Amino acid sequence: MAQDSSAGGDVERRAPSREKRRISRASMATVPDENLDEYGRLVKYVSTYREPGAEEAEEEEGTELRRVWYAPWRKRRVRVRTQADAGKFPDDWLLTDIKQGLSSEEVLNRRHRSGWNELVSEKENPIAKFMSYFRGPILYVMELAVLLAAGLDDWIDFGVIIGILCLNATVGWYQEKQAADVVASLKGDIALRTTAVRDGREQEVLARELVPGDVVVVGEGNVVPADSKIICDYNDPNGFEEFKRMQEEGFLDESSSEEEDEEEQKETNGKKQEEAEEEANKEDEERPKRRGYPIVACDHSAITGESLAVDRYMGDTIFYTTTCKRGKCYAVVQTTAKTSFVGRTASMVQGATGAGHFEMVMNNIGTSLLVLVMAWILAAWIGGFFRHLPIASPPQQTLLHYTLSLLIIGVPVGLPVVTTTTMAVGAAYLARRKAIVQKLTAIESLAGVDILCSDKTGTLTANKLSIRNPYVAEGVDINWMFAVAVLASSHNIQTLDPIDKVTILSLRQYPKAREILRRGWKTEKYIPFDPVSKRIVTVCRCEGVKYTCTKGAPKAVLQLTKCSKKVADLYKEKAQEFAHRGFRSLGVAVQKEGEEWTLLGMLPMFDPPREDTAQTITEAQNLGISVKMLTGDAIAIAKETCKMLALGTKVYNSDKLIHGGLSGAMAHDLVEKADGFAEVFPEHKYQVVEMLQQRGHLTAMTGDGVNDAPSLKRADCGIAVEGASEAAQSAADIVFLAPGLSTIIDSIKVARQIFHRMKAYIQYRIALCLHLEIYLVTSMLIINESIRVELIVFLALFADLATVAVAYDHASYELRPVEWQLPKIWVISVILGLLLAMATWVIRGSMFLPSGGIIQNWGSIQEVLFLEVALTENWLIFVTRGSDTWPSIHLVAAILGVDILATIFCLFGWFTNETMPTDPHDSFVETRNGWTDIVTVVRIWGYSLGVTIVIALVYFVLNKFQWLNDLGRAKRSKGDIKVENLLAHLARLTLEHEKEGEPKGRYYITTAKEEEEAD
């Protein structure tokens, strides 16, 4: 009985484990009963049995009742996906046959649930995007004007204002969509491709098209397209049967091992922790290894920091965006990019968002204009009360009509649309030049950058290695040395890295080395380069003799050999000489079976600077941009490269950065004045950006790896260079598809041109608002007269129509980093607005003269003022855009078209109120049919041209004042020495801490924002 009891206890303890290793119901249900024995049918019954009502309960689980949007009185059950559900798919989805793969139809069905396999932000609903153009403080004022016009029964103004709102929204939505389409089409150039098994054959597909359950082929040099579970070796497809067996028995179920650990933890609650750990370790040792040999090795350094390539076995997960360094396998996709390990990390980086600088500037301008228009409305109401003006009736010259006029012209309804359109068109232009803008506001950041932290390889240099004058040890045949160097290289010609490629191609100059390699060599073992040993090792045989060949860092290779001191000293001297000349050297050695290692020589490799880099750096310095080189190469190579590029010689080792012993202020000074840093890691890049920002600099950072994502996100403008990983591209503000520093500098020029267009339009639009506000309020207070609301509405419409073309205008760029300088913008805009208002008063005031004044007395007062205001305001954009470039044909055509339309309004007297009285009554000879004489129109054109010339001269003089040019410009290179030193001392004081029974740990002093991002 005791034995039975013990057996029963064992069964109870093992029951959860058996349950975890059960065969899925879906696969069990497909087995015919006649193929099963008595216990097989019993197991099938247990596996497939469902409690009554269980299906309905499962269907309701994860769903909820929601009202139908088009019929709120009805409800329907909808499935709700929670964060916990993300990335979870049915078990039978992941049991795809490696020979057949998924069918095209099944791929489409699964994509409806899993979505696309890509790291992108959620696409905004087009309708919601269109409606967003009706939101904002400025647009809310126009919508208030719509309600006011409806309340006054002014249906013409009501319709025209709605038309303005819809026109602005349509133009902005269309222009931004068109630019986004251009960017999206070019993003296909950086799309990752992979090999998948579908419809019974291997085919190349875009990685974004993968779905859970897809069988993919991952080989040496390939980027893993999604989090996937290894099925079997590519050269051993029969391993699929072993994979299925182990899957069914639960040995590949990662969740089951976690649950087993929990059960074991419960059983050891009464034991001491040390004993429990010893017992767990013993059980782990006794647990049989069922996964066989390592199938592939993947480079996880970008996501885990692991230096060595990690061996992965059958059933192990290989992670999205990691690189396969060795082997080839079939793998089944487990989840899509968003819910992958890298995807979750990227989402945390992207999660910290807030109002950008551009949004804050626009809100500042909008709020200021709102305050101004409210002040003018208050002044109009106070003056109206003294004049005993009615509030709402009769239909003209009431306080509400004045209010409506001021609301319409007091806020620039087209400001958000024109600025957004300008940036969208600029983004499309940059995309055609191989620079993909991830978010529009990045253009503003790029235009203001004053420090560019650039990597070396591929950006400053050509990334084309060549071997220069190799050093050969005494008594060694150079052909034998090159043959050994090639043997100690990867032989997968499809995925050669630059070093192996240049080593192999160097055989073109050494035909005897090629003859040596034709002797029947066979590779037995290949160990790729790793940062720890800093060597590549190949074990091979030739004519029955085993050779071990290696190449790598000169110091690492020298340590293998037992050469004489003379040979070693000469070798070290050569290595130092090559380093000072900017060469990256590789030592070569060989060990013949039964003999010691023999030092063969050294291969100096040189990555020459790009032909345009030195000129581009000079150009960048002329633009007020300081270029700092951050490289992982040795300091000697970094200094030599800086010399060749005339970048400066103040290059320091990264040891001086993180806790390098310098005080806080000294460390900041070092970073600010340095020309570059060598032997840097991603954490060094982050610190450099952080310190420069603390000194008030706008910093751009280039990067290409997953571990560069934090520094790219931290920088004011993160730049993913050509060939960057998808995670780096996701974190960056701009992705470049072309190599070289010149593409970045050219993009900065374009960004400054775009910024110039926006700044010119904002100055123009503020001046327009002030112009009519000043004139309308003063004319109401002085002569109790106003321009009709209908004409005011069309003035606002014409201003927006004409200046949408600003986005396509030619523009110059400043030779220093740009800033908004809002105080300067307001000073110039106020002066321009006053000049425009004075010019309009000259026209209106001269109409009191018996002689007819400046423009003669033939026409309607309303139409004359309307035409003069329309012409001078439209031509003002030619003033604020600057005189360095000629205006584009688009802008000229738009302005000319609006001017012609305004002239037609004036000639035919459209929307003219002939009975509007003037007080005091003037002797102006006004036509009673509302028409304006052609001579008067010509005189108005001439007068407006003269006003524009005067304003242009004033604008030119204003921009010559240095104090005005510097007004509102932020001071860069600033820092609080005391605070910097205090934080540095605190960081050192609290660097390490110890607790009894626990290993040493570290504390870091960070700002609140960084702590939030870390969480």
Catalytically active residues, by annotation: 455
Q: How far apart are CA 868 and CA 865, in angstroms?
A: 5
DSSP state of 654: G
Q: 281-303: b or e for each residue (b if 16 or more CB lie within 10 Å)?
A: eeeeeeeeeebeebbbbbbbbbb
Q: How far apart are CA 280 and CA 599, in angstroms?
A: 48
Residue tagged 């030195």 (tokens): 614
Q: How far apart are CA 218 and CA 200, in angstroms?
A: 17
Q: How far apart are CA 772 and CA 411, in angstroms?
A: 11
Burial class (CB in 10 A: 0-12, 13-18, 19+), 276: middle
Task: Give residue 942's identity as a one-letter amino acid code.
Answer: G
Helix axes 822-846, 861-880, angle to 10 degrees: 150
261 contacts: CB under 8 Å, gap ≥ 6: none
Residue 295 near residue 237, CB atoms below 8 Å: no
Give start and end residues of each alpha helix (H) in 784-821.
789-803
Q: How far apart are CA 118 and CA 192, in angstroms?
A: 10
Longest dimension (CA), the chain: 131
Residue tagged 């960057």 (tokens): 724
Residue 216 near residue 196, CB atoms below 8 Å: yes
The DSSP bridge partners found for residue 699 are 451
Q: How far apart are CA 959 and CA 963, in angstroms?
A: 9
Q: Within a 10 A sphere around the Cβ of 151, how many other Cβ atoms?
A: 12
Short-list 638, 678, 686, 687, CA closest to 654: 678
148 contacts: CB under 8 Å, gap ≥ 6: 400, 403, 404, 407
How far the first Cα of the chain sits from its last, in Å, is 57
CA distances from 303 to 23, 707, 725 (A): 34, 6, 12
898 contacts: CB under 8 Å, gap ≥ 6: 798, 801, 802, 870, 874
CA distances from 15 to 5, 259, 290, 783, 956 (A): 15, 13, 21, 97, 88
590 contacts: CB under 8 Å, gap ≥ 6: 484, 547, 548, 549, 550, 597, 598, 600
Q: What are phi and psi of 298, to 5 degrees?
A: -120, 145
Give the CA count within 13 Å in the CB-facing half-sphere of 580: 6
